Amino acid sequence: MTKAPWVTYRPEIKVLDCTIRDGGLINGHLFEDKLVQTVYQTCVDAGIDYMEIGYKNDKKIFAPDKHGDWKYCDEDDIRRIVGDNESGLKLSAMADAEKSDYKRDILPKKDSVLDLIRVATYIHQVPTALDMVKDAKDKGYEVSINLMALSTVKDKELEEALASFAASPADIVVIVDSYGSLYSEQIRDYAKRYLKAVKGTGKEVGIHAHNNQQLAFGNTIEAIICGVNRLDATIHGIGRGAGNCPMELLMSFLRNPKFNLRAVLECIQKHFLPLQKHLEWGPCIPYLITAYFNQHPRSAIELLGGEERDKFVEFYDRWNEA
């Protein structure tokens, strides 16, 4: 058997799989236990560092009759999948600012199998997000803060937000290309700003890239080159809309011998190729158009769910005339 030649790699790089959390935005997090267990075991077998199993969001906002268990990640549901998680894989959940009853639903770390809480926030929600970060840190978790829709944030606002993140107890600050609209030179600039902001604090910088312009993998590489060490990816690129950086591409690029690419490829072949016959994700022209106009992909998702899904010229004109 011929193995790929291992070259220099950065052992400080950590990879987070957000297959179930981001992929669940396609189907209301209504994944069957078997698939969630398969993704968990794949992450263990592949040597991935973290698995984000879903959201910690409020059932009063997201009705349980319309969403699956992974919208809420109740402790009993997580343990139904992972038991006490006696593997080396760390587990994560994401809590949205203003959509999570975090003081009630995020348990103290001693009572939870979760290791990392990732706080997602838009720029106008930063004060709430900072309180969420402190709450999770006080409860004993590793904590990340993810500023969404970065491409819409004004420079002055970003400067102030980064200063507040640097002063917070967050362990990780993540560059989030929510609209998949950023190019490599923009990722480079953001990476430098984020790294400069947290210099001397011991915090790491991460990246979460969407694939609207088929740049999620390339932009993640650019971030790595700049010194970003926390990387998000999903199996077969599954995720909201155009999806995310594909795990299989990222692992093959990183060349760290701790990773087992075969485990991910087997999961894709056995589970995600059949899944893609029922769920739609991945790059296509409507997602390119929303990224081009720096817009949230929700309008493209709506278009693709209707009878005029191939009317992308008209879709382009709608935005171009706005």
Q: What does the alpha-carbon distance between residue 242 and residue 300 come to, in Å, rounded to a whole number?
A: 10
CB-CB contact of 58 with 101 (8 Å):
yes
φ/ψ (deg, to 5) at 84: -95, 10
Q: What does the alpha-carbon distance between residue 241 and residue 312 come to, in Å, rounded to a whole number?
A: 15
The pLDDT score that the predictor gives to residue 61 is: 97
Give the number of C-alpha atoms closer than 13 A to the C-alpha of residue 257, restricted to the C-beta side. 6
**pTM, whole model, 2 decimals?**
0.95
The pLDDT score that the predictor gives to residue 1 is: 47
The pLDDT score that the predictor gives to residue 10 is: 87
Nearest-5° Cα angle at 41, 83 to 75: 30
The pLDDT score that the predictor gives to residue 320 is: 84
Give residue 239's region: left, alpha or beta (phi > 0; psi -120 to 50). left
Instruction: Report domain extents, the chain.
Output: 14-275, 285-320
Give CA separation, 92 vs 119, 243, 292, in Å. Answer: 11, 19, 32
pLDDT in tens, 128-179: 999 999 999 999 999 999 999 999 999 999 999 999 999 999 999 999 999 9
pLDDT in tens, 58-77: 999 999 999 999 999 999 99
Which residues of the chain carry a pLDDT beneath 70?
A: 1-7, 322
CATH architecture assignment, domain 14-275: Alpha-Beta Barrel (3.20)
Residue 133: alpha-carbon gap to chain centroid: 17
DSSP string, 75-137: HHHHHHHHTT--SS-EEEEEEETTS--HHHHS--GGG-S--EEEEEE-GGGHHHHHHHHHHHH
Through-space distance between the first and last CA atoms of the chain, rounded to whole angstroms: 57
Q: What does the alpha-carbon distance between residue 83 and residue 74 come to, in Å, rounded to a whole number?
A: 13
Q: What does the alpha-carbon distance between residue 292 and residue 51 come to, in Å, rounded to a whole number?
A: 31
Residue 311: alpha-carbon gap to chain centroid: 30
Which pair of tokens denotes residue 161? 């937000």
CB-CB contact of 212 with 184 (8 Å):
no
